[in-house]
Structure 1
């Protein structure tokens, strides 16, 4: 018997991000192929290091590094580590480092040597008096103004964004599956009726389903889930015409991002709302009223209703419900235009089997960072070349055997825990007769 857990897309479109979950019993993982991208590979230099708080010496996760006068960028991982690959033709440029609530820093690449680079950032202290006085009369009006600026977040022409995508599955604290990919996002301008497309360039995976006992979990949606976290391009997932009035908005302490004054607005459902809705913080530029970051969660206290948003079919002996659904999206300013730069999704589910003493807890994580972009040149991919919005990335990916797999592409450095997990998974699979 096969059991299936899948997000009901129709229901969830009005409430959240289009994330899909499949749960199978004893379903083998299919191997895929990687697709070559650029025939001409430039020579490049790697810069590897850590972004750190100057006072606490704690690493800063999700800090952005951008090579000035280019579209090349990357993001630090949860350990604050980064790996930035720069074509040698740009080695005379500088890198710009920014992090939420910290002062930005610009450093010439020529001054960075070796693989143990430590960059210190200082926390930004923002006084209320420094915020512009021409703000909307209340927090709700400010959010409405930010959402109405949709055109400021999109290019006027179709744009190809190169992005790195990663998804992981854990059973409690044990890593069981990791899939990664380089994709091209064919981003449509806001005034176009055409849908965004995603083309798979390279992908790899490592999965050991023996760590999941008899239950194999797959994350459906892949890179599409990540771009749907863009609440400016896809407001229907949170702040649509039907739900906006059901939220309460209030000001929090202001901060600074990229040396710009930023309003922080907290939002949550009204007290009488029983349906699962979102709550969190929006970071809005004080001068332009542009949304530049959002960190939020889905309220899953109503277990039955929250489960209905994710679960479509399941084995009769199983009860499944989410215990956490957390989201983050960051925007990047380029040539006076804001565009999607990074998103992160964390989902945790509890699985109870009838007749079993202990339950199982699964955490599914996905993140995507735009590492480069360029204007499209009328070369839209064919339908066969593009991914479906319901894609399961691990089914499209191959193994982890090639250490030079990514070549010149910028990726998000793996966390220490992920590196360790991959090493253990691969050793275990080799004993069983090779990688899947």
Structure 2
């Protein structure tokens, strides 16, 4: 499907998503995070399914009586400040598809992680779903009702959220480059444009040095040297704020503007571009919700997703949306699309091999301890896969043109394994798309350099003048040097880079819904146009000890 360019505008940050057959563009950026409850001790636990033993991800754990809470990690883990254990409170645990239950904090320990088993809720298959409004609704009609009711189900007046933000990467199931922050969100309501009108207070920010720091993996995306690229997609470094770009991926909050591929403007574009199927009804916070499968296939990309919609109010409780790139199929386009639909509707049988490009999970729920029936952000998680092309172990450090000798001098980082075997056929030099003939190769062991003597008699006169001009700059030229079978003593091939695929996460978890904070000086508001880690970011001065904390994960995922 060919889609035209679409744009959103923030105060000074311009985001443009350009589409083509071979690539997707989704918005995402940078890194950051933090901790406020004292690092003296935490109660730790892990939620698992009582039937399967699998971790229960993104469950809400609320401290009864305090209107505070955290969200479980991807391995079901969580932590609570130990100070709450002495206050005799309990955890109220709720998760979509599970029974809501309580667990006493006295059952948690600061020394060992406690496993809590929670029971799945009953799941009614779509054949037994009770018809709504005296008539059976199709899945598409349910989705349409949900989109039409966004203004009535979500807050249109201003409100605040305080939450835990983090971004990190996963390398072989270990967290690296973990940044953490506590942030207050000042949202003017769903009738306003989030990128422009929402402001933030940064309570604290830190790079967690207890986790591995990989500076090469943490660098911005680079589509010139291809050091770091998103697979089959492009993530431009706009120079804006990573939290703002995370929030752009919330298609529900940004229902009137473009969000990400292929949801775009959800109230306008979502239904025409996707197929839906009602899979059944499950429970969330003791309320019945529709579970609707989402699917789509276009130009080698396909979507697998879920929508969870309240059966009575049609409020969108949760949206899961994953985009994949099909890597191989032996079927026709129609059969491939049928396979994709079967996968999205719960049929695991598929001959379409695919790789994840990105995944977005966003959930909303009511304010705890309040009669307010509006739905507020509970969490948003954005994950994408990216590829690192790490520097070659055996490489050219510098290339110098000797104008007097009319030769190229190549500086290597380590000596070649067998310099005596080098010959002019080992190297290929191209300049402005034409081959540069080499007359001889000389290795200098003292300087660890190779001298490539140019056969000027076989080189075009114009190219000789350009190549050896005093104004010629090697770094910006069209000069390309490659070598055949040239290795160092460790067996590394010259210029061969190590390729590594990692997963990037950016997440925000609400801990408390709070009143909108009026009268905040502009100087204390987070600068949305610079990264969170920028030293120019203001830290909001809280009075007294904060009651909020960071749900820092364990270094390695279970």
Corresponding residue for 1:199? 201
Q: 1:243 to 1:232 in 2, by over 3 A?
A: closer
After alignment, is 131-140 or 214-223 more displaced? 214-223
Change (3 A) 1:234 1:257: same
**Which residue in 2 is equivalent to 1:432?**
none
1:416 has 2:555 as partner: yes
Q: Output the aligned Cα RMSD.
A: 4.1
By how many angstroms is 1:125 displaced?
A: 2.0
Matched-pair contact (CA < 8 Å) for 2:176–2:214: yes
CA contact 1:164–1:410 (8 Å) conserved in 2: yes
Q: After TM superposition, give the deviation of residue 94 of structure 1 in Å.
A: 3.8
Quote the residue 1:333 is aligned against. Answer: 366
CA distance in 2, matches of 1:358, 1:208: 15
Give the counterpart of 1:123 among 120, 125, 142.
120
Deviates more, 1:88-97 or 1:373-382: 88-97
Aligned to 2:29: 20
Whether 1:324 aligns to 2:463 is no
Q: Counterpart in 2 of 1:374?
A: 514
Pairing partner for 1:229 from 233, 249, 252: 249
Structure with more contact order per residue of length (Cα contacts < 8 Å, sep ≥ 6): 1
TM (norm. structure 1) is 0.71
Residue 364 of structure 1 is aligned with which of 504, 529, 540? 504
CA 1:209–1:16: 2 relative to 1, 3 Å? closer
Which of 130, 140, 143 is matched with 1:132 structurally?
130
Who is 2:222 aligned against? Answer: none
Query: For the Cα contact (< 8 Å) 1:33–1:396, is it kept in 2?
Result: no
- Conservation of the 8 A alpha-carbon contact between 1:101 and 1:256: yes
Count of paired positions:
369
Q: What residue is the counterpart of 1:165 in the other structure? A: 165
1:248 to partner: Cα distance = 1.3
- Structure 1 residue 99 corresponds to structure 2 residue 95: yes
Tell me the residue number matched to 1:291: 316
CA distance change for structure 1 residues 146 and 211 in 2, over 3 Å: closer, same or farther? closer
Shift in alpha-carbon separation, 1:252–1:178, aligned structure 2, 3 A: same
Cα pair distance change 1:352/1:323, threshold 3 Å: farther
User: Of the candidates 210, 225, 249, which is equivalent to residue 276 of structure 2?
Assistant: 249
Please give the alpha-carbon distance, in whole angstroms, between the structure 1 residues aligned to 2:17 and 2:159.
30
For 1:423-434, list aligned pairs within 5 A: none
SS in 2 for 1:95: strand
2:82 matched to 1:57? no
How far has the Cα of 1:375 moved from its partner? 0.7
- The separation in 2 between residues aligned to 1:407 and 1:384, in whole angstroms, is 17
Closer/same/farther in 2, CA of residues 339 and 113 from structure 1, 3 Å limit: same
Any stretches of 5+ residues in structure 2 without a counterpart? 1-12, 220-224, 230-236, 328-354, 391-481, 483-494, 538-544
C-alpha deviations, 1:160-211, integer Å up to 9, x for none?
A: 2111111113566665522111111111212346621122211111434267
SS at match of 2:283: strand
Q: Mean Cα displacement is larger for which, 126-135 or 238-247?
A: 126-135
Provide closer, same or farther for how the CA distance between residues 171 and 70 of structure 1 changes in structure 2, counting only shifts above 3 A: closer
Indicate the larger mover: 328-337 or 344-353.
Answer: 344-353
Determine the C-alpha separation between the residues in 2 that align with 1:196 and 1:275: 36
Residue 114 in 1 paired to residue 120 in 2? Answer: no
Superposition deviation, residue 350 in structure 1: 2.7
- Consecutive unaligned residues of structure 1, counting only runs of 5 or more, are 1-6, 23-31, 303-321, 399-405, 420-436
Change beyond 3 A, Cα 1:121–1:397? farther
CA distance in 1, matches of 2:41, 2:513: 19
Give the C-alpha shift of residue 18 in structure 1: 3.2
Q: Structure 2 CA distance, aligned partners of 1:90 and 1:227?
A: 36
In 2: Cα distance, 1:161 partner to 1:79 partner: 25
Q: Is the 8 A contact 2:169 2:504 kept in 1?
A: yes
How far apart, in 1, do the equivalents of 2:109 and 2:83 lie?
A: 16
Contact 1:298/1:325 (8 A) holds in 2:
yes
Which residue in the other structure is 2:148 paired with? 148
Q: Distance in 2 between the 1:33 and 1:415 partners?
A: 15
Contact 1:282 1:291 in 2 (8 A): yes
TM-score normalised per structure 2: 0.57
- Residue 9 of structure 1 corresponds to 15
CA distance in structure 1 between the partners assigned to 2:521 and 2:33 by the alignment: 18
Decide which structure has the larger Cα Rg and report it.
2
